[in-house]
């Protein structure tokens, strides 16, 4: 079955222009990353996980996640927690911040999240999971969605039992990453399970896991009947992966294009996080952008050791002088937008 990834679809009243969803990733999905994802073809972008307890307590770093730019829309803000009352309060804050969708995390496998009764643990407590979804859906006017794993243990089919109940409780869409929490990111995603979930619910299902290329994305959509695919690690420092999935004739970016996109990302991230925080945050991105045979391996290590972002920018432009012209065009085409929320503090808290 031929699947056109440019076909619009919707979650409730929210129309999404393409079948690509940019995944929520802790320590990655800052506003600059989401804006870039929209520009390269993601129809829906997601914030990294936001702690409901942090929002409830007015935690400065957690509140920073609610800085939203108009260029990101449609945007889903993902929340996690285990108390329906606290999650309801957080969901209202997310809606007030301007999010188009409230996404609830029932899939995080990280110990510091699961030990609190949140994340993937809730797949083993379906009654509480349903109470959370019902409470959140009843508190906001925007669609509520759920992202989940197959279950805690290898071979689990918990998602197939819980998924339909979550829809009955008010979930307007489900995202399934068909690995167990125990697997983390090892092995392969079992998308036969995704196809089973699609058959059991009447809302859109987003297929997550191992979406790495246009061929893979189309195959997953065709074999599962999912409404969309979620792209995660494949897009880290590589927004061209999104464009490749959308366009019929993908092209590898030139060195100048790679450096220009990295520089734009650096500048937007520094604006969002502040120079000092951005300097440390960005170091992992250098390898992601400059790898894949685009630049010699020692170059990334050289950048990591530089003292300031200005030093990094100078070294990048020395390595690819033509990037300056590409960057100038990008900045004209993608002017910095104003946040559409309150003057909230800025954060790089990972949240798990």
SS (H, E, C) the chain: CCCCCCCCEEECCEEECCCEEECCCCCCCCHHHHHHHHHCCCCEEECCCEEHHHHHCCCHHHHHHHCCEHHHCCEEEEEECCCHHHHHHHHHHHHHHCCCEEEEEECCCCHHHHCCCCHHHHHHCHHHHHHHHHHHHHHCCCCEEEEEEEECCCCCCHHHHHHHHHHHCCCCEEEEEEEECCCCCCCCCCHHHHHHHHHHCCCCEEEECCCCCHHHHHHHHHHHCCCEEEECHHHCCCCHHHHHHHCCCCCCCCHHHHHHHHHHHHHHHHHHHCHHHHHHHCHHHHHHHHCCCCCCHHHHHHHHCCCCHHHHHHHHHHHCCCHHHHHHHHHHHCCCCCECCCCCCCCCCCCC
Catalytic site includes residue 108: yes
Identified catalytic residue from 108, 130, 159, 255: 108
Query: Catalytic residue numbers?
Result: 108
């Amino acid at each position: 079955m031929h699947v056109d990834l440019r076909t619009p679809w919707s979650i409730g009243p929210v129309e999404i222009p393409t079948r690509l969803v940019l995944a929520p990733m802790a320590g990655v999905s800052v506003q600059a990353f989401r804006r870039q994802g929209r520009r390269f073809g993601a129809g829906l972008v997601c914030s990294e996980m936001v702690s409901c307890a942090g929002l409830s307590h007015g935690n400065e770093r957690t509140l920073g996640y609610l800085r939203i730019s108009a260029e990101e829309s449609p945007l889903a803000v993902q929340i996690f927690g285990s108390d329906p009352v606290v999650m309801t309060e957080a969901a209202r804050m997310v809606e007030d911040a301007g999010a188009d969708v409230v996404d609830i995390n029932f899939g995080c496998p990280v110990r510091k999240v699961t030990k609190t009764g949140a994340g993937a643990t809730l797949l083993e407590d379906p009654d509480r999971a349903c109470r959370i979804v019902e409470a959140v859906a009843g508190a906001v006017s925007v669609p509520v969605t759920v992202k989940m794993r197959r279950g805690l243990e290898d071979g689990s089919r918990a998602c197939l039992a819980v998924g339909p109940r979550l829809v009955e409780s008010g979930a307007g869409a489900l995202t399934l990453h068909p690995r167990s929490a125990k697997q983390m990111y090892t092995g392969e995603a079992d998308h036969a399970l995704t196809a089973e979930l699609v058959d059991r619910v009447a809302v859109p299902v987003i297929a997550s896991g191992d979406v790495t290329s246009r061929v893979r994305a189309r195959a997953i959509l065709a074999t599962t009947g999912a409404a969309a695919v979620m792209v995660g690690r494949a897009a880290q420092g590589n927004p061209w992966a999104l464009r490749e999935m959308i366009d019929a004739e993908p092209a590898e970016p030139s060195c100048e294009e790679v450096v220009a996109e990295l520089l734009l990302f650096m500048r937007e991230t520094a604006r969002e996080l502040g120079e000092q925080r951005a300097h440390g945050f960005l170091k992992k991105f250098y390898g992601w952008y400059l790898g894949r045979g685009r630049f010699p391996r020692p170059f990334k290590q050289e950048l990591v050791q530089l003292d300031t972002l200005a030093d990094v920018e100078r070294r990048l432009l020395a390595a690819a002088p033509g990037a300056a012209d590409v960057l100038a065009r990008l900045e004209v085409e993608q002017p910095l937008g104003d946040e559409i929320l309150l003057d909230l503090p800025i954060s790089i808290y990972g949240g798990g």
